[in-house]
Amino acid sequence: MQKAFLFAGQGAQVPGMACELTSPRVKELFEIADCVHPGLIDLMRGGTIEELSRTVHTQPCMFVADLAYAYAEEERSGAPDAVCGFSVGEIPALVYAGVFSVQDGLRIIEKRAALMEEACTETGGAMIAAVKLTPEQAVLAAQECGDAWAANFNAPQQTVIAVTAEKEAKLTQIIARMGGRAIKLRVSGAFHCPLLRNASEQFDAFLRDFEFRAPAIPVYANLTALPYGAGDEARATLSAQMRSCVRFTDTIAHMTAAGIDEFVEVGPGKVLTGLVAKCRPQA
């Protein structure tokens, strides 16, 4: 039996997440986080859901929480054979696999969050989950709507669509007309779509100052649904992820084909393992 850790993404944040964990490794992580980003752990402990849902706050908090849960789970059940992070969760997954240090991972996530918040302030938009539609139907709904893009391929009947603020109501109506259900996600803008192209290019330039070491274990990428490489290829993969769709269903299929048959979510909630159950009921 082979096991993978799934690092949770934006939208899973809750007040107090990971603050119940008390192992020495988690305490060290919290100390590092407070040195790099003073006040971050206090925000995780006492921030409101509104504060935690601002992208500039969500992403650093989720980074620390995901890593903390991963360290705790490793102590409980042993290390995984592979990892995958959903959207923002890809960066703590890369840190866990040894691609970056915790300090560099925090600096990277802070830059990503700042760029995405700035882009979303300028462009607005939303993320709408189209439930009970096939991926093909969701793509057609986005095309019919215009200014909308299939962004997260989560499960056979759940695809998240990024949409501009002006077209949000129209998209919701199209999804309903096609027999689906539209659910607005708890995020602050339209992610994983062309609206973030400029931010993605700025992120790529920022990442050139960091070394991308070869992962100690496979890290499956949202962009390709395949394991990360190292160096410039890895940098290009991570920077393009911001403006590209998350291929979660394909990722789970490739991980299963590689022998992974146990999936453990590291983060607040059980969103990702719920999606795995829809993709691979036997896992």
Separation in Å, CA 258 to CA 4, 80, 241: 11, 13, 23
Nearest to 91 by CA among 117, 112, 118: 112
Which of 37, 57, 192, 254 is catalytic? The answer is 192
For the question of residue 87 being annotated catalytic, the response is yes
User: Taking a C-beta distance cutoff of 8 angstroms, is the pair 169, 122 a contact?
Assistant: no
Q: Where are the beta strands (DSSP E) in 123-198?
A: 126-131, 148-155, 158-163, 181-184
Task: Return the structure tokens found at 69.
Answer: 């849960």
Cα separation, 214 vs 94, in Å, equals: 10
DSSP 8-state symbol, 270: S
Which of 87, 188, 239, 244 is catalytic? The answer is 87
Residues β-bridged to residue 219: 83
Cα separation, 108 vs 162, in Å, equals: 24
Active-site residue list: 87, 192
